[in-house]
Amino acid sequence: MNAETPKAAELNLPEAFLLLATNDKDGKPEVPVFALRTTLAGAILAELELIGAIELQGKNVRATRAAPPTDFQHELELIRGKSRPHTPKRWVAMLEGRAEVQRVYDRMATLGIVEHVGEKHLGVFRSTRYPEKDHSSKVALLKKLEAALRGASPAPGASEAKTPDAGAPPSTGPDAGAPDAGAPPATGTPAAPAPDARTTALIALLQAAGLFGKLFPAADRVRADELAKDYWPARAVEDELRMIRLAQEEAATL
């Protein structure tokens, strides 16, 4: 497993989100398509911000003078080329779409992480799925996220065993073992280290998409909320999804 772990580092943020948002076996999204497309658009903004290509200035997104290499050069040029700046929510609405999702999936297919599977209806390809081909990248991502939610640094090749006594001396009392994840640190105990910015961004996007609870049902939601608090790309996703759901509800009443 250790030898496979570096593959996770090859994934940009949109790819990491899409991989976690896709069912391993059937290759279908774990969230409604509109939520997948909207959150992916937010992940593109987050990726561009993480590499220093864009930043939030006041209420609007603006391109910086830095121009690092990126898989999302087209999106960056759109932002840079606009004569009038837009809010994060506006950019999420402009970037979301089937083409963006398919392009990210296809790059993961070239990396050998997922497989492009087309389904025919009456001899014509009508739907496409992306089941996993190599599970190691997803395993590495989940380990890193779990470590961040526990407030620990993921050791290379560390086991995912959830039993606190695995490989450790037997506990000597009822309170022995790992501290409760939701309990405040004891006096004199340093606070849990903050994860890197990329991991924090991914947690925030998973929450915005409604995926966090599905992936980590037993995780400390308080810590997750604190990590994701006020992350502007995720807030933009939440705002856009709220508008989409309201529009759907209104249409259903007509």
Write out pLDDT tens, residues 62-103.
Answer: 999 877 889 999 999 999 999 899 999 999 999 999 999 999
The pLDDT assigned to 120 comes to 58
pLDDT-above-70 percentage for the chain = 77
For 4-13, 42-51, 133-142, 150-159, which range has the lowest pLDDT when averaged over its residues? 150-159
**Number of domains observed in the structure of the chain:** 1
Whole-number average pLDDT of the chain: 83
- pLDDT-derived band at 169 (thresholds 50, 70, 90) equals very low
Q: pLDDT at position 38, please? A: 98
DSSP SS3 for 238:
helix
Indicate whether 175 pLDDT > 70: no
Q: Is residue 193 scored above 80 in pLDDT?
A: no
Residue 5 has pLDDT above 60, yes or no: no
Q: How many distinct helices (H) and strands (E) make up the chain?
A: 10, 4
The verdict on residue 187 lying in a domain is no
52 in any annotated domain: yes
Per-residue pLDDT at 165: 44
CB crowding 72-81: b at 16 or more within 10 Å, else e: beebbeebee
> Would residue 142 count as lying in a domain?
yes
Report yes or no on 227 lying in a domain. Answer: yes
pLDDT of residue 126: 65
- Interatomic CA distance for residues 148 and 154, integer angstroms: 8
Domain residues for the domain of 151 are 10-155+194-253
Instruction: Report if residue 16 sits inside a domain.
Output: yes
Element (H, E) at 121: strand 117-121
**CATH number reported for the structural domain that contains residue 61 in this entry:** 1.10.3630.10
pLDDT the model gives residue 102: 93
Q: What is the model's pLDDT at position 18?
A: 97
Residue whose structure tokens are 């220093």: 52
**Per-residue pLDDT band at 228 (split at 50, 70, 90):** confident
The pLDDT tens digits for 120-145 are 555 555 678 999 999 999 999 999 99
Torsion of CA 166, 172, 177, 183, to 10 degrees: 170
Tokens of 129: 């799925």
- Looking at the domain assignment, is residue 228 inside a domain? yes
Q: For the ranges 10-24, 25-39, 101-115, 179-193, which has the lowest average pLDDT?
A: 179-193
Structural domain includes residue 176:
no
Query: Is 218 contained in some domain?
Result: yes
